[in-house]
Structure 1
Amino acid sequence: MLKRVFAAPDPGRVRLRFAARAVVGIGLAAAVCGLAGHSLPGAVTGGLAALLALFTVADPTVRGQAVTTALLPAVGLPVLAAAAVLHDVPVARDLAFLAVVGAGVYARRWGPRGHSLGVFAFMTFFVAQFLHAVPEQLPELSAAVLLSVLTAAAVRFGLWCYERRFPAAAAPAPTGGTGLARVTTRQAVQATAGAGFALVAGQLVSGQRWYWAVGATWWIFVNTASRGETLVRGFRRVLGTVLGIGLGLGIAAPLHGAALPTAALVAVSVFGIFYTAAVSYTWMMLWVTLLAESLYGLLGVLTPGLVALRLAETALGAAGAALAVLFVLPVTTHAVTDEWIQRSLHCVHACTAEAAARLAGTEGADPAPRVAELEQLLGRVRLSVAPLTHPLNPMRGRKGRARRVLALLDDCAREVRGLVAVAADPVASHDARLAAACWRVEAAVEALTTGRADRVGAAAARPPVAEPVLAHLHGLERALADLAEPLRTPPGSPLVGA
């Protein structure tokens, strides 16, 4: 698992920049709240608002990201007010929380912006429970949200706007259909049902920390689109929480809430969350748990009993999510898997075409953003087939087939990265054979993504070439030809099965 996190490809060092910028943005937001005279709860609220503004906003353009960021307070502040006003009315508070859960998941039908606003609304209600917010605190907490979102925006769009060159992470694309045929609608119903179970069960375990169970259910549903993905994500959330609790008891607890070392630990945890999010949900949850323990240390309430309660509530939340996806409008894996594999293959072709244009001297041709997009898409493929490749999956045939697909897609990505690296060389030139090789790549991708994998023949044996460009293109041709066998299925069947 360590190797997967730290050896994972990071084209353009996007993950490193993502994490480093988050530390700067959240640190500045907390500092601004402190300079404004806000209390510790205000600083915590502001820090969370900045974290969400930097973490969840994933529109494909910088302008779109700016619009979504500007809309965050418009969604979050009314939710914060409702949570504070309903603090002493448990039944109305619980019903409002479930309504926010359902609306937040349903909003994914509007793409990355809907997803971001839904997450921000949920987490605003959640932090109100975390801090036991009451109406008297609303002016301070609202000001903290506004200041922190503005600070995060200044960092993201002014101080450190690397998105001008590299795209944001690929967010789940809503699947078509109407009514309950739409995946986002089915997931909204599932998430509300799972959160309802978690809320009731969580309150039976703890009348003070029940919201942890609801939070676990919510985050298990984030960035998943099928029954299998959700079950695997629930397992990984519990595992990451267990590991984070163990690490926190050894690191956060001995600090006893000391300001400076705890602030340093918070910064490390934030970096870990952002750096590992794209490659390992288990590792991300480890850092989230360590961050939570650090904050509880600052608040002076961190005890072994509290972290044990967090684990129990997390397990209840995972159980709620599992029951919901198994018995409430279940969504199978195959359609989601097909979609992400096809998008990845189209991106392979786009990378190749852009690199060829760069070599031909086309002005403005830059394949680097496409490579970053390909890495994000491959991450989504890995997530969608995770139920098939999981060690506990008893279906060996499907497991082997899914692993073969992943390995060959990784081969495609490796050849594309090599091709793009060569294309970046200013002395590299266009070759007539390059156009023919690019055409063969395009034909192979078209056959694989239109259900005609049987028409992709074996890659022709070609003599070794000295030109690196052609060597990478021939390697890409071989990988695409080899993909035809595991993707070759009867008409109407899923590419990797589920």
Structure 2
Amino acid sequence: MLKRVFVSPDPGRARLRFAARGVLGIGAAVVVCGLAGISLVGAVIGGLAALLALFTVTDATVRGQAVTTALLPVAGLPVLTAAAALHDLPVARDLTFLAVVGAGVYARRWGPRGHSLGVFAFMTFFIAQFLHATTGRLPEMFAAVLLAVATAAAVRFGLWCYERRRPGPAAPVPPGGGGFARITTRQAVQATAGAGFALVVGQLVSGERWYWAVGATWWVFVNTTSRGETLVRGFRRVLGTVVGIGLGFLVAFPLAGSMLPTAVLAAACVFGIFYTAAVSYTWMMLCVTLLAELLYGLLGVLTPGLLALRVAETGVGALGAVLAVLFLLPVTTHAVTDAWIQRALRCVHACTAEAAARLAGTEGADPAPRVAELEQLLGRVRLSVAPLVHPLNPMYGRKLRARQVLGLLDDCAREVRGLVAVAADPEASHDARLAAACWRVETAVEALTGGGDIPAHAGGPRAVEPALAHLHDLERALAELAAPLRAPSGSKLVGA
């Protein structure tokens, strides 16, 4: 797991820049809140608002990101007001919280913007519980949110806008449908039911920290699509929380809320959240848990009992999510997995075609954005296939096939990255054989995604020319994918 975090490909240092900008933006937001005379509690909400503004906004264009960022307070401040107004009305507060959960998940149907606004709305209600917000504190909290989002936007779109020259890929949207066939509709129902379970049981565990259970349920559902993904994510959330709390005993308790070392470690945790999010949910949760412990240390309420309670509430929340996806409108894994694999394969072909056009001297041809999109799609494939490759999965045959598919898709991505690197060389020239090789890649992808016959890989000695060599190996990987994708048990990778 540690190797995966630090050895995973990071094209263009995207994860590193994402993490570094996150630390800069959040740190700047906290400093601005402090200079504005906002209290420590207000600075905490400001820092969390900046984190969400920098972490959750994933529109494909800079313009789209700016619009979504501007809309975050529009979605969050009314929710914050409702949470504060209902602070002393527990039944109304709880029902409103569940409504926010359902609406936030359902908003994913509108793509990255809906996802971002849904997350921000949920988290503002959650933060209000975290800080025991009342109407008397709303002016300061409003100021903190607005200042933090504005500061994060200034860093993202002014000081360090590395997407300006090359738009990043939008976060992949789950497969669509209508009515209850739409995955986001099913998940909205599941999340609301799971959160309801977590809310009731969480309050039985603790009348003061019950919202941790609801938060655990919510975050298990974020960025998952199928039943299997949700089960694995719930396990990883609990694991990351337990390990993070164990680390907190070694790190957070000795600091006892000391400002400077706590700030340095909090910055390291923020970096870890941003850097590991795309490759390891367990590591991300470890960093989130340790950051929460540091914040509780600053607020002077960190105790061993509090950490034990966090583990219990996290377990309740994960259980709520698991029960919901198992028994309420379940979304099976096979169709979702097949859809992500097909999209990844089509992106492989698009990368290849764009790189060939670049080598041919076509003006405006740029395969780099396609490579970034391919990395995101492969991340979705790994998430979808995770239940099959999990060590606790007893179905050895499917586990083996899943590992073969992941390995061959990684081979495809490696060869595509190599081809794109060659195409970026201004000295590289177009070879007439590239067109034929790209056509064979297109034919193989169409066969894999459409059910046709896959042409046999010609084999033979590997080409000397770098571009042709990468295409030759890409053809081989695509040809070898036919076997695990079309095993006798069915045409899908996952059969149930």
TM-score range, shorter-chain basis? over 0.9
Identity %: 82
**Partner AA of 2:22 in structure 1:** A
Matched with 2:113 is 113
Q: Hey, what does 1:472 align to over in structure 2?
A: 470
Q: Is the Cα–Cα contact under 8 Å of residues 166 and 372 in structure 1 kept in the other structure?
A: no
User: What's the offset of the Cα at 1:488?
Assistant: 2.0
For 1:348 and 1:484, locate their aligned partners in 2 and report how far apart those are by CA, in whole Å.
15
In structure 2, what is the equivalent of residue 445 of structure 1? 445
CA distance in 2, matches of 1:298, 1:130: 14
Name the residue aligned to 1:425: 425
Q: Tell me if the contact between 1:212 and 1:314 (Cα under 8 Å) persists in the aligned partners.
A: yes
- Following superposition, the deviation at residue 486 of structure 1 comes to 1.3
In the TM superposition, residue 399 of structure 1 has moved relative to its aligned partner by 0.8
Asked if the contact 1:45–1:141 (Cα under 8 Å) also holds between the matched residues in 2, the reply is yes
CA contact (8 A) 1:486 1:496 kept: no
Deviation at 1:346, TM superposition (A): 1.0
State the partner residue of 2:459. Answer: 461
The residue number in structure 2 matching 1:486 is 484
* Whole-angstrom distance in 2 between the partners of 1:464 and 1:109: 45
Q: Is the 8 A contact 1:68 1:116 kept in 2?
A: yes
Q: What amino acid does structure 2 have at the position aligned with 1:52?
A: L
Q: Deviation at 1:495?
A: 3.7
Query: Could you say which residue in structure 1 is the equivalent of 2:312?
Result: 312
Aligned residue in 1 for 2:383: 383
Between the aligned partners of 1:178 and 1:409, the Cα distance in structure 2 is 31
1: CA distance between counterparts of 2:20 and 2:208? Answer: 34
1:58: which partner in 2? 58
Whether contact under 8 Å (1:458, 1:482) holds in the other structure is no
Q: After the TM superposition, which residues 214-363 of structure 1 pair with which residues of structure 2 at under 5 Å, given as runs? A: 214-363=214-363
Q: Which amino acid aligns with 2:360?
A: A
Residues 14 and 166 of structure 1 are in contact (CA less than 8 Å); yes or no, is this contact kept in structure 2? no
Task: Report the equivalent of 1:185.
Answer: 185
Q: Deviations over 1:332-355 (max 9, x none)?
A: 011111111111111111111111
Change (3 A) 1:460 1:433: same
Tell me how far apart the structure 2 counterparts of residues 169 and 216 of structure 1 sit (CA, whole Å): 28
Q: 2:349–2:442: 8 Å Cα contact kept in structure 1? A: yes
- State TM-score, norm by structure 1: 0.98
1:462 CA drift (Å): 2.6
Whether the 8 Å CA contact 2:169–2:369 is kept in 1: the answer is no
Does the aligned pair in 1 maintain the 2:172–2:377 contact within 8 Å?
A: no
The residue that corresponds to 2:79 in the other structure is 79
Asked whether the equivalents of residues 29 and 47 of structure 1 are also in contact (C-alpha less than 8 Å), the reply is yes
Q: CA deviation at 1:451?
A: 2.4
CA shift digits 1:192-229 (9 cap, x unpaired): 00000000111001111000000000000000001000
Counterpart-to-counterpart distance in 1, 2:62 and 2:299? 37
Corresponding residue SS for 2:330: coil
Seen in structure 2, the aligned counterparts of structure 1 residues 167 and 430 have a Cα distance that, compared at 3 Å, is: same
How far is 1:364 from its partner? Answer: 2.0
Equivalent pairs counted in the alignment come to 496
Compute the displacement of 1:465 (Å).
2.0
Contact 2:405 2:484 in 1 (8 A): yes
Map 1:1-80; keep pairs closer than 5 Å. Answer: 1-80=1-80
Superposed displacement of residue 168, structure 1: 4.2
State the partner residue of 2:200: 200
**How many Å apart are 1:169 and its aligned residue?**
6.1
Report the Cα distance in structure 1 between the residues aligned to 2:112 and 2:447, rounded to whole angstroms.
Answer: 30
Does the CA contact (< 8 Å) of 2:402 and 2:493 recur in 1?
no
Looking at structure 1, the residues matched to 409 and 81 of structure 2 have their Cα atoms a distance apart, in angstroms, of 47
Please tell me whether the aligned partners of residues 485 and 491 of structure 2 are also in contact (alpha carbons under 8 angstroms).
no
C-alpha contact (below 8 Å) 1:293/1:302 kept by paired residues: yes
Tell me the residue number matched to 1:398.
398
Secondary structure of 1:163's match?
Answer: coil
Separation in 2, partners of 1:167, 1:489: 38
Deviations 1:408-438 (A, max 9, x none): 0000011111111111111110000011001
In structure 1, stretches of 5+ residues that fail to align are: none
Tell whether the 8 Å contact from 2:360 to 2:430 is kept in structure 1 after alignment: yes
C-alpha separation between the residues in 2 aligned to 1:268 and 1:48? 15
The change in CA–CA distance for 1:92 and 1:209 in structure 2 (over 3 A counts) is same
CA contact (8 A) 2:210 2:313 kept: yes
Q: Secondary structure at the match of 1:151?
A: helix
How far apart are the structure 1 equivalents of 2:323 and 2:491? Answer: 27
Comparing 363-372 with 88-97, greater Cα deviation is found at: 363-372
Look up the SS of the partner of 2:163 in the other structure.
Answer: helix
Distance 1:358 1:164 in 2: 21
Task: Give me the whole-angstrom Cα distance separating, in 1, the residues matched to 2:428 and 2:138.
Answer: 61
Shift of 1:400: 0.8
Q: CA deviation at 1:182?
A: 1.0
Matches of residues 358-377 of structure 1 in structure 2 within 5 Å? 358-377=358-377
Is contact 2:199–2:211 with CA below 8 Å preserved after alignment? yes
Distance across 2 between alignment mates of 1:356 and 1:11: 19
Determine the C-alpha separation between the residues in 2 that align with 1:192 and 1:94.
11
Residues 418 and 472 in structure 1, CA contact (< 8 A), matched pair in contact too: yes
With 18-27 and 244-253 compared, the bigger mean Cα shift is at 244-253
Q: What amino acid is the match of 2:306?
A: L
Distance (Å, rounded) in 1 between the aligned partners of 2:205 and 2:413: 47
Partner of 1:131: 131
**Distance apart, 1:463 and its partner CA:** 2.5
What's the offset of the Cα at 1:164?
2.6
Structure 1 residue ranges, 4+ long, deviating more than 4 angstroms after superposition: 165-170, 489-493
> How far apart are residue 93 of structure 1 and its match?
0.4
Pairwise CA distance, 1:493: 4.5
Distance of 2:166 and 2:30 partners within structure 1: 27
Q: d(CA) in 2 for partners of 1:172 and 1:230?
A: 17
Structure 2: distance between partners of 1:416 and 1:288: 34
Aligned residue type for 2:68: T
Q: Distance between the aligned counterparts of 2:257 and 2:216, measured in 1? A: 25
Please report how far the alpha carbon of residue 367 of structure 1 lies from its aligned counterpart in structure 2 after TM superposition. Answer: 1.4
